[in-house]
Amino acid sequence: MRTKVAIIGAGPAGMLLGQLLHAYGIDNVILERKDRDYVLARIRAGVLEQGTVGLLEKLGITERLHHEGLIHDGIELLFGGVRHRLDLKHASGGKVVTVYGQTEVTRDLMDARVKAGLTTVYDADQVSLHDFYGSSPRVRYVKDGVSHEIACDFIAGCDGFHGVSRQSVPADAVKTFERVYPFGWLGLLSDTPPVSPELIYTNHERGFALCSMRSPTRSRYYVQCALDEKVENWSDDRFWDELRSRLDPEAAEALVTGPSIEKSIAPLRSFVAEPMRFGKLFLAGDAAHIVPPTGAKGLNLAASDVHYLSQALREFYDEKSSAGIDGYSARALMRVWKAVRFSWWMTSMMHRFPDNDGFATKLQQAELDYVVHSKAATSALAENYVGLPY
């Protein structure tokens, strides 16, 4: 098989890149080691920056998003037992975010790809990358016991933190930066109405909590927990009791509980790999960087990565210019590190750390008070939350 761009990974990064390249007339093939249902079963966040929505609008893949997505122009910070609303739209100069599950974004992109008749190979086993520093990049894989090879001009690694793409790079060619946080998020998904029309971020002496949603009838809640916690030790009742204890009296009273659809614990880390280009191999999304979910930046960073990469490849094929691909890594990383900083800051401000003493707690309280009462501080949070420009 021959194509211009071989994309590794059928998550939102790979699927969005594939659709953008198709819109520019650039042939591409997507390889995914799991099946479609497995990919769509992954439970992920769903706060979309305006820039991410804009990319989907550009592709004409927003009919369901605009029908089912929830536009949010504010969030609430809860600390000291009191909620404070931040008007993101006003503070950011008119920008908003849209709550729409990452799974639904991936489903919409998959459906659009099928409709366009583009090639996606699921259950691609033993994927390996070859000669991406040379003149003839190739990707090999096994499907149904038969070996296959794809010859291509470029390879896009969109296969996540544990994928083969970054692992294929020589160790001395990549530098990594990492911060592992000493806690995780225990998350619960339920078919219950959200406790609030907007997200509530909570700083509490028992730990962080987040009240989020997927729709007017489906809620997503999180509580900070120890890294050695086990999901099986958390009954639904125990979770609801713990969440209620971290909310203000009004929210605790209004909380509607019910059986969980999904329950899981996610560790928190910040991770960046530099550079994001290795010859004719490019990394995008979680293959290159991970951020804690506090700032809602994971999917949105993947979107900005593939925006830069698709533009660079369009320039290469249409304008015969390599300037875009030569500058891809530096351009993407400038935005990545700003999002890493914001996610680290939000995480540091909202969570209880094991070594939190009275001094650290007082600093958090002062920071939160400053954020909600200073126009400049509110604007800085809002600007980053709704998404920095591409």
Reported as a single tens digit per residue, the pLDDT across 309-329 is: 999 999 999 999 999 999 999
**Environment class of 390 (CB within 10 Å of its CB; exposed 0-12, middle 13-18, buried 19+):** middle
What would the mean pLDDT of 72-82 be, rounded to a whole number?
A: 97
Host H or E run for residue 363:
helix 358-373
Q: pLDDT at residue 43 above 90?
A: no
Q: Is residue 160 part of a domain?
A: yes
133 is catalytic: no
Q: Write down the pLDDT at residue 364.
A: 96
What would the mean pLDDT of 240-250 be, rounded to a whole number?
A: 98
Q: Is residue 287 part of a domain?
A: yes
Query: Do 87 and 73 touch, CB atoms closer than 8 A?
Result: yes
Q: Is residue 323 part of a domain?
A: yes
Q: Nearest 5°: phi and psi at 334? A: -60, -45
293 is catalytic: yes
CATH number (domain holding residue 130):
3.50.50.60
Q: Is residue 164 part of a domain?
A: yes
The Cα–Cα gap between 132 and 174 comes to 15
98-132 as b/e, with b when 16 or more CB fall inside 10 Å?
bbbbbbbbbbbbbebbeeeebebbbebeebebeeb
Q: What tokens does 54 get?
A: 């804009």
Q: Write down the pLDDT at residue 42.
A: 77
Q: Write down the pLDDT at residue 355.
A: 86
Least confident of 138-147, 151-160, 355-364: 355-364
Domain span including residue 12:
5-70+98-178+269-347
Q: Write down the pLDDT at residue 28.
A: 98
What is the band of 357 on the pLDDT scale with cuts at 50, 70, 90?
confident
Given 201, 222, 308, 328, the catalytic residue: 201
Given 22, 72, 95, 204, the catalytic residue: 72
Given 293, 307, 308, 328, the catalytic residue: 293
385 is catalytic: yes
Q: Is residue 75 part of a domain?
A: no
Q: pLDDT at residue 45 above 80?
A: no
72-93 as b/e, with b when 16 or more CB fall inside 10 Å?
bbbbbbbbeeebbebebbebbe
Q: Write down the pLDDT at residue 91.
A: 97
Total tally of structural domains belonging to the chain? 1
Q: What percent of the chain has pLDDT over 70?
A: 100
The Cα–Cα gap between 182 and 33 comes to 31
**Environment class of 157 (CB within 10 Å of its CB; exposed 0-12, middle 13-18, buried 19+):** buried
Given 22, 289, 297, 307, the catalytic residue: 297
What would the mean pLDDT of 127-152 be, rounded to a whole number?
A: 97
What is the band of 41 on the pLDDT scale with cuts at 50, 70, 90?
confident
Least confident of 144-153, 293-302, 351-360: 351-360
What is the band of 44 on the pLDDT scale with cuts at 50, 70, 90?
confident
What would the mean pLDDT of 337-361 be, rounded to a whole number?
A: 95
Cβ count near 362 (within 10 Å): 10
What would the mean pLDDT of 364-387 be, rounded to a whole number?
A: 98
Q: Is residue 42 part of a domain?
A: yes
Q: Kindly report the average pLDDT of the chain as a whole number.
A: 96
Q: Is residue 374 part of a domain?
A: no
What would the mean pLDDT of 181-191 be, rounded to a whole number?
A: 96
Q: Is residue 109 part of a domain?
A: yes
